[in-house]
Structure 1
Amino acid sequence: MLILTRKKGEALIIDRNIEIKIMEIEDGKIKLGIEAPKNIEILRKEIYKNVEEENLAAINNKSKIEDIKRLLGK
C-alpha cells in the first residue's frame, strides 16, 4: 500500500489518466474528487463488496437450479 500526505487542493495521478484531488478536509472527513475516463468504474468499497457477494450468491443459486433440473430430467 502506498501512503501519501496531501493537503487541500493537492492531487495525485494514477496511470496517467486518473486524478485524485483533495477537495476538502473537515471534522476528520476528507472529500475527494476523482477524474477518470468514463469506462473506469468507481465504487465505494462497501458497495463493491455487496455486488461481489450478490454475484457469488447468484452463481450458487444457478448451480442449485441446474442440479434441480438434472434431478427432474429436464
Structure 2
Amino acid sequence: MLVLSRRVGERLVIGDDIVITIIDVRSDGVRIGIDAPRHVRVNRAEVLEAVTNANLEAARSSDDAAEAALKALRPPTPTD
C-alpha cells in the first residue's frame, strides 16, 4: 500500500486516466474527487461489503425456501 500526504487541491494520478483530487480536509475525514473513465467502477468498500452480505443472505433464504418447497412436494414416506 502506498501512503501519501497531500494538501487540498493536490492530485494523484493512477495509470493514464484516473485522477484523484483532495477537495477538503476536515477533522472527521477527507473529501476526495475521482475522475475516471465511465468503464472504471468506483465504489466505497463498505457499500460493496454490505451488498455482498445482503446477496449472500438472500441466496441462503432462497435455498431454505427452495428446500421447504421441495420437501412439501415430496410424497410422505411411511415414517412421516
Give the TM-score range, shorter chain: 0.7 to 0.9
Match of 1:2 in 2: 2
TM-score computed with the length of structure 2 as normaliser: 0.72
| Identical pairs, percent | 28
Deviation, 1:25, is 1.7
TM-score after normalising by structure 1: 0.76
Count of residue pairs brought into register by the alignment: 74
Unaligned runs of 5+ in 2: 75-80
Structure number with greater Rg is 2
Runs of 4+ in structure 1 deviating by more than 4 angstroms, as ranges, are: none
Structure 1 residue 72: deviation in Å?
2.2
1:53 corresponds to which letter in structure 2? N
CA RMSD of aligned residues (A): 2.0
| Structure 1 segments unaligned to the other structure (5+ residues) | none
